Amino acid sequence: MRVYSPAKTVADCFKYRHKYGLDVAIEALRDGWPEKKFTMNELSKAAAVCRVSQHVAYYWLERGVVTGRRRRPGGIIWIVLSAEKEQELAA
């Protein structure tokens, strides 16, 4: 796998999770995020390009990085960001 940017690499790890394992994708995300190697915006764009944004969003929800809610079981998840949280993720 080629490395273009930290955000693209994380998105690629989620894209190829069946080939390399989900643990590799999670480790890439855990290593890059605390060290501020990419922003939420960069990761969001890379995940959209790789068509894995849904998987990344579920990971963030499960880990409590962002919060969300469903109007009904099985429905779409509405992610709620406060102004402070949005600034934190964008930095």
Question: If you average pLDDT over residues 30-38, what whole number do you get?
Answer: 82
Give the Cα separation of 9 and 23 in Å (integer).
14
Question: If you average pLDDT over residues 47-56, what whole number do you get?
Answer: 78
Q: Coil, strand, or helix at residue 28? A: helix
| Statement: residue 49 has pLDDT above 70 | yes
Per the model's pLDDT, the better-predicted residue between 27 and 90 turns out to be 27
pLDDT confidence band for 44 (50 / 70 / 90): confident
Q: Where are the domains of the chain?
A: 6-64
Average confidence score pLDDT of the chain: 79
Q: What is the pTM of this model?
A: 0.60
